[in-house]
Amino acid sequence: MSETPSAAGSAARDPRYADTERALGTARVAYRTVGSTEAERASLAWWDADSDTYLDEHGDFLGDADFVWCPEGVREQQARLLGPPDTLAGADVLEIGCGSAPCARWLAAQGATAVALDLSAGMLRHARAAERRTGLTPALVQANAEALPLRDDTFDVACSSFGALMFVPSLETVFSEVARVLRPGGTWVFSVTHPMRWIFPDDPGPTGLTAVEPYFDRTPYVEQDETGTATYVEYHRTLGDYVRALTSTGFRLLDLVEPEWPEGHTRVWGQWSPLRGKLFPGTAIFRTERTS
Ligand SMILES: C[S@@+](CC[C@H](N)C(=O)[O-])C[C@H]1O[C@@H](n2cnc3c(N)ncnc32)[C@H](O)[C@@H]1O
């Protein structure tokens, strides 16, 4: 039941991922523990293989230089979750799990010095193409969010729009890295699939309205090939898990935003749909700051 905006629908069930799954030899779904090395290998393979499909399907919604937080269409231009408009001009900003980096280009257009980081060379290839289209050139870094190749106390703001956090085994590892590279008092804002979505089938229609999985089951969702090697991994956490990981790594929670489905917004993104969005949240956005 993979539920990221990009990979919604299990491999076996969602025809949109047929090409990617064929390329990776995906054969079945499992629920099991996956460590950091296997997760990194699977995510690298998945996002490289899926990057063209992802941008074909979602590129127009994401824009070339726009900061979209979630399928509900919350945009930083209006929401200002990173701080008041004058926060960004001249600020050092890190985006984690940037994909093709539309958010980082929007940040650059606001006058920020933006660094956009992603594991996938396939995604960063799309970022380069968009740089040529827009003339906006945030620094691009290919790395795992669990080990940021960046100096301590370098950034005023860090952000992530559905990037990396659901694909790593330890939130604490990533949050500790973010705390390390942020300056004291720095802002860390990220969006993820709302944890309550894990309990429902990964379906935008009526089938997706009946709870079938325990909210409290943290066993990772894994797609794997015939040899049992993971080809896609997603980690399930509760809201409390996020809060505890934040407070134990030096962050103060300022707000938890649960965007409501906007009136007149008809676009379906994977399992995110008007039908489900009107009944329960699909996205959680955590606004935090480094405590010291
Ligand atoms: C759902 S996409 C979101 C991309 C982009 N933020 C957007 O809104 O389109 C998730 C992104 O996280 C990246 N990612 C997955 N695991 C990662 C990791 N361990 N470290 C860094 N990036 C990772 C993927 O390569 C992918 O680009």
Q: What pLDDT is stored for residue 17 in this prediction?
A: 85
Inside any domain, residue 5: no
Q: Which ligand 1 atom is at minimum distance from the Cα of 99?
A: 27
Residue among 58, 142, 143 nearest 102 (CA): 58
From the CB of 99, is ligand 1 less than 6 Å away?
yes
> Ligand 1 centroid vs 90 CA: distance in angstroms?
25
Side-chain-side CA neighbours of residue 224 (13 Å): 16
Q: pLDDT for 172-226, tens place per residue?
A: 999 999 999 999 999 999 999 999 999 999 899 999 999 999 999 999 999 999 9
Instruction: Tell me which residues of the chain have a pLDDT lower than 70.
Output: 1-13
Tokens describing residue 218: 């943290």
Inside any domain, residue 3: no
Inside any domain, residue 211: yes
Inside any domain, residue 2: no
> Ligand 1 centroid vs 281 CA: distance in angstroms?
21
Residues 21/27/33/39 CA torsion (nearest 10 deg): -30
Q: Three-state DSSP class for 197? A: helix
Q: What pLDDT is stored for residue 9 in this prediction?
A: 41
d(CA 242, CA 223): 24
Inside any domain, residue 87: yes
> Ligand 1 centroid vs 167 CA: distance in angstroms?
8
Mean residue pLDDT of the chain comes to 94
d(CA 69, CA 161): 5
The CATH number linked to 102 is: 3.40.50.150
Q: What pLDDT is stored for residue 167 in this prediction?
A: 98
Q: Three-state DSSP class for 184? A: strand
> Ligand 1 centroid vs 41 CA: distance in angstroms?
13
Look at the alpha carbons of 130, 133, 136, 141 in this order and tell me if their dihedral is positive or negative. Answer: positive
> Ligand 1 centroid vs 248 CA: distance in angstroms?
24
Inside any domain, residue 9: no
Give yes or no for a contact between 242 and 286, defined as CB atoms under 8 angstroms apart.
yes
Q: What pLDDT is stored for residue 4 in this prediction?
A: 53
Host domain of residue 164: 15-290
Lateral strand order in the sheet of 251-257: 139-142, 113-118, 92-96, 155-161, 182-193, 283-290, 251-257
Q: What pLDDT is stored for residue 3 in this prediction?
A: 40
Inside any domain, residue 39: yes
Residues in Cβ contact with 145 at an 8 Å cutoff, skipping those fewer than 6 apart: 96, 97, 117, 119, 160, 163, 164, 165, 168, 174, 177
d(CA 105, CA 112): 9
Element housing 251 (H / E)? strand 251-257
From the CB of 249, is ligand 1 less than 6 Å away?
no
Give yes or no for a contact between 236 and 221, defined as CB atoms under 8 angstroms apart.
yes
> Ligand 1 centroid vs 222 CA: distance in angstroms?
17
Nearest CA to ligand 1 atom 19: 144
Convert 225-246 to b/e letters by CB count within 10 Å (16 or more is b). Answer: beeeebbbbbbbbeeeebeebb
Lateral strand order in the sheet of 26-31: 26-31, 221-225, 230-234
d(CA 167, CA 156): 25
Nearest CA to ligand 1 atom 16: 164
Nearest CA to ligand 1 atom 9: 99
Inside any domain, residue 83: yes
Q: pLDDT for 259-289, tens place per residue?
A: 999 999 999 998 999 999 999 999 999 999 9
> Ligand 1 centroid vs 146 CA: distance in angstroms?
12
From the CB of 261, is ligand 1 less than 6 Å away?
no
From the CB of 5, is ligand 1 less than 6 Å away?
yes
From the CB of 270, is ligand 1 less than 6 Å away?
no
Give the CA diameter of the chain.
Answer: 53
Q: pTM value?
A: 0.95
From the CB of 122, is ligand 1 less than 6 Å away?
no
**What is the tally of structural domains in the chain?**
1
Q: What pLDDT is stored for residue 2 in this prediction?
A: 45
- Residue whose CB lies within 8 A of the most ligand 1 atoms, among 3, 6, 60, 174, for a mutation test: 6
From the CB of 51, is ligand 1 less than 6 Å away?
no
